[in-house]
């Protein structure tokens, strides 16, 4: 039997650091940086020969950010969210360098201060970021921590079993109909500061919206990599479909396993026969590592154990009285 320390161990910090992030110089054109993101980690995208108006997206394991460095100095960062924001304002990517649009200064964490996962989670929450570069005392880049790398390093299966999707699901879900252009999808993401838009189809008879697909920030990066005309491209042509839907009653372990199996960073949640829709992401799943959240779980477990002990004592007392 595994020890309690093993069952509830936090992620291995070393395993949570991506030591091979995508790095470019500040003079690289934005369109070139996006091409590198699109080609990172063996990603392949191409047009479907049979349906040349549709895009087939293979292997979504793209690089989620680009770090801009000069020598060993970290100058800035460009993320998928930045690309969506720039897409929404119809920036001409071929005409600007990454230095002109990167986010700076960059929020970083000294490697020596990475004592536990809570340090990274605090910075994620405080600055509303999803990419945290780790640097040494000489300010040289060590690697990057993201919700994705933390999820890949997670070991506390029992803790995930104890929590439900309902505990972390976000009901702030942005949706759009099938004929919405991808440019307008990008605008919705930028305006609402969300990482995806769920594509829905109305069921007028039941007065509900049926989720039929999803478009994410990562998809927008791929479309820019392909240099697609986003103002002419409709959601129904490029959305990821069919959707795998979670229930609020599913465990976070189920959500974690499905994300790993499907190689995605978010899943749609549906309840009340489609009347309710939500979203669960890698970032929202990390709430279970919040110290107060974990304290609450421990208190609940202690209370349950105490209640079971009391019931056991009552039962033993009753048995003893019957035997007497």
Give pLDDT tens digits for 251-304.
999 998 999 899 899 999 999 887 889 999 988 888 776 655 554 555 555 566
Looking at per-residue pLDDT, the higher value among 203 and 27 belongs to 27
CA dist 107 → 122, 133, 135, 176, 204 (Å): 12, 7, 10, 33, 47
- What's the CA gap between 225 and 177, in Å, rounded? 24
How far is CA 214 from its chain centroid?
Answer: 14
Computed over every residue of the chain, the mean pLDDT equals: 83
Give the C-alpha distances (Å, rounded to integers) separating 30 from 77, 257, 318: 12, 35, 76
Q: Which two tokens stand for residue 25?
A: 């110089």
Q: What is the pLDDT of residue 154?
A: 65
Domains of the chain, with CATH numbers? 9-155 (3.10.580.10), 165-287 (3.10.580.10)
Cβ atoms of residues 132 and 286 within 8 Å: no
Whether the Cβ atoms of residue 270 and residue 243 lie closer than 8 Å to each other: no
Cβ atoms of residues 228 and 47 within 8 Å: no
Task: Return d(Cα 320, Cα 311) in angstroms, integer.
Answer: 14
* Mean pLDDT value of segment 295-322: 70
pLDDT at 324 over 80: no
Q: Reduced to 3 states, what is the DSSP secondary structure of residue 251? A: strand
The pLDDT confidence band at residue 44, using thresholds 50, 70 and 90, is very low
DSSP string, 34-56: HHHHHHGGG-EEEE-SSSTTSEE
pTM for the full model? 0.77
**Among 124, 117, 125, 111, which Cα is nearest to 19's?**
111
Strand 55-58 vs strand 44-47: parallel, antiparallel, or unpaired? Answer: antiparallel
Q: Where are the beta strands (DSSP E) in 146-207?
A: 175-177, 196-203
Q: Could you tell me which residues are beta bridge partners of residue 70? A: 73
How far from the centroid of its chain's Cα atoms is residue 278's Cα? 14
Q: What's the pLDDT tens digit per position in 167-209?
A: 999 998 999 999 999 999 999 999 999 999 999 998 888 788 8
Please check whether residue 196 is in contact with residue 214, taking contact to mean a CB–CB distance below 8 angstroms: yes
């Amino acid at each position: 039997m595994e020890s309690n320390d093993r069952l509830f161990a936090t992620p291995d910090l070393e395993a949570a650091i991506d030591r091979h992030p995508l790095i470019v110089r500040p003079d690289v054109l934005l369109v070139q940086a996006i091409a590198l993101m699109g080609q990172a980690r063996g990603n392949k995208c191409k047009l479907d020969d049979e349906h040349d108006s549709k895009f087939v997206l293979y292997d979504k394991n793209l690089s989620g950010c680009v770090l801009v460095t000069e020598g060993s100095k970290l100058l800035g960062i460009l993320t998928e969210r930045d690309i969506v924001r720039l897409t929404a304002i119809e920036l001409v990517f071929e005409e600007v360098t990454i230095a002109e649009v990167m986010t700076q200064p960059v929020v970083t964490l000294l490697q020596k201060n990475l004592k536990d996962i809570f340090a990274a989670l605090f910075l994620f929450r405080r600055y509303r970021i999803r990419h945290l570069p780790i640097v040494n005392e000489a300010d040289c880049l060590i690697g990057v921590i993201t919700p994705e790398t933390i999820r890949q390093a997670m070991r506390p299966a029992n803790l995930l079993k104890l929590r439900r999707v309902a505990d972390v699901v976000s009901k702030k879900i942005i949706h759009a109909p099938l004929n919405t252009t991808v440019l307008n999808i990008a605008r919705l993401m930028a305006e609402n500061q969300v990482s995806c838009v769920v594509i829905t189809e109305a069921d007028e008879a039941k007065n509900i919206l049926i989720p039929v697909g999803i478009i994410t920030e990562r998809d927008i990066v791929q479309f820019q990599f392909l240099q697609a005309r986003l103002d002419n491209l409709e959601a129904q042509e490029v959305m990821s479909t069919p959707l795998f839907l979670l229930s609020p009653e599913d465990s976070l372990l189920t959500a974690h396993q499905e994300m790993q199996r499907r190689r995605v960073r978010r899943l749609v949640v549906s309840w009340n026969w489609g009347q309710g829709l939500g979203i669960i992401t890698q970032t929202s799943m990390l709430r279970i590592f919040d110290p107060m959240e974990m304290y609450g779980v421990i208190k609940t477990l202690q209370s349950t154990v105490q209640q079971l002990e009391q019931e056991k004592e009552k039962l033993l007392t009753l048995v003893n009285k019957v035997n007497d």
